[in-house]
Amino acid sequence: MKTFYFRCVIIFLLNSITFSLESQNDDDHVDTLSKPKNKKNNTNLKMIHHQEDLECLDSDKQCSTLPYPCIHCYMNETCTYGNQTLATCKANVKCVGEIVFVKNLTCRYCYQTELWEHKCDKKTTCSSASSPPNYYRTNCTVNKDVLCLGNRIFYKRLRCNWTGGHRWSTALILSITLGGFGVDRFYLGHWQEGIGKLFSFGGLGVWTLIDVLLISIRYLGPADGSLYL
């Protein structure tokens, strides 16, 4: 009977030791897998730089000449629209001169800036030759040397007026000289009409005269909906 109890105690001790060793190995395995992952994440975080951060490295320029986002300005939002006002600016990087300085600006919101003071994303999926004209909504960003109130990225409604590179003078010359073979239609991208015009010899001359008239008054334009150059 004593021998039986003694064997049970030994088996219990061996199982406890085995379980402890397996748990320690699992913990070591988890640590081994997790440490390289954390190291990789830290490396990636150190390597990520925004374009704005790269443009605002320490410079030998005058602090007052630095563009946005290298400076941060505090502006009076209660100013009168169109009037000149002052903004207190502070440089975010090392530069020459006083870090805190004052700049002049026109009292206006960023969406009220002139066309040459901001850039907008152009879209070429609309028809520029439609009547009435098409408009689309796009994102616009103020130039870095412009100070204004509000968000520097805003929405704007623009008229669709993009061009695909077709010249009106080229289309007109082709219509007058080779219009009977449909070359003007091929040039503008109207392939089906161009084939029909080719095999009908310009509609026995009638179709050719009509196309010359339509192109001369800019009624017939490129098939992609773009404008002439």
Q: What is the pLDDT of residue 174?
A: 92
Question: 79, 107, 135 — which closes off a domain?
Answer: 107
Q: Does 70 score more than 60 pLDDT?
A: yes
Residue 2 maps to a domain: no
Greater confidence, 100 or 18?
Answer: 100
Q: What is the pLDDT of residue 26?
A: 47
160 CB-near residues (< 8 Å, 6+ apart): 123, 126, 127, 128, 130, 133, 134, 135, 136, 225
Residue 178 maps to a domain: yes
Q: Which of 43-47, 127-131, 182-186 is modeled with the greatest confidence?
A: 182-186
62 CB-near residues (< 8 Å, 6+ apart): 95, 96, 97
Q: What is the pLDDT of residue 41?
A: 43
Q: 161 forms bridges with which residues in the sheet?
A: none
- pTM over 0.85? The answer is no
- pLDDT tens digits for 3-36? 555 555 556 555 555 555 454 544 444 344 344 4
Domain count within the chain: 3
Q: Does 38 score more than 60 pLDDT?
A: no
Are 100 and 116 within one domain?
A: no
Are 46 and 102 within one domain?
A: yes
Burial pattern 76-110, b for ≥16 Cβ within 10 A else e, equals eeebeeeeebebebebbbebeeeeebeeebbbbeb
Q: What is the pLDDT of residue 12?
A: 57
Residue 81 maps to a domain: yes
Which percentage of the chain shows pLDDT scores above 70? Answer: 74
Q: How many angstroms separate the first and last alpha carbons of the chain? A: 108
Residue 82 maps to a domain: yes
Q: What is the pLDDT of residue 20?
A: 56
Greater confidence, 122 or 2?
Answer: 122
Q: Does 74 score more than 90 pLDDT?
A: no
What span, in angstroms and rounded, lies between the C-alpha atoms of 70 and 75? 16
Q: Does 142 score more than 60 pLDDT?
A: yes
Q: Does 136 score more than 80 pLDDT?
A: yes
Confidence label for 39 from pLDDT (cuts 50, 70 and 90): very low
Residue 124 maps to a domain: yes
Are 123 and 150 within one domain?
A: yes
Average pLDDT, the chain: 78
Residue 225 maps to a domain: no
Confidence label for 55 from pLDDT (cuts 50, 70 and 90): low
85 CB-near residues (< 8 Å, 6+ apart): 75, 76, 79, 104, 105, 106, 107
What span, in angstroms and rounded, lies between the C-alpha atoms of 164 and 122? 13
What span, in angstroms and rounded, lies between the C-alpha atoms of 155 and 142? 11
- pLDDT tens digits for 156-211? 988 887 777 888 899 999 999 999 999 999 999 899 999 999 999 888 889 999 99
Burial pattern 168-183, b for ≥16 Cβ within 10 A else e, equals eeebbbbbeeebbbbb
Q: Are 221 and 161 in contact (CB under 8 A)?
A: no
Residue 64 maps to a domain: yes
Greater confidence, 8 or 65?
Answer: 65
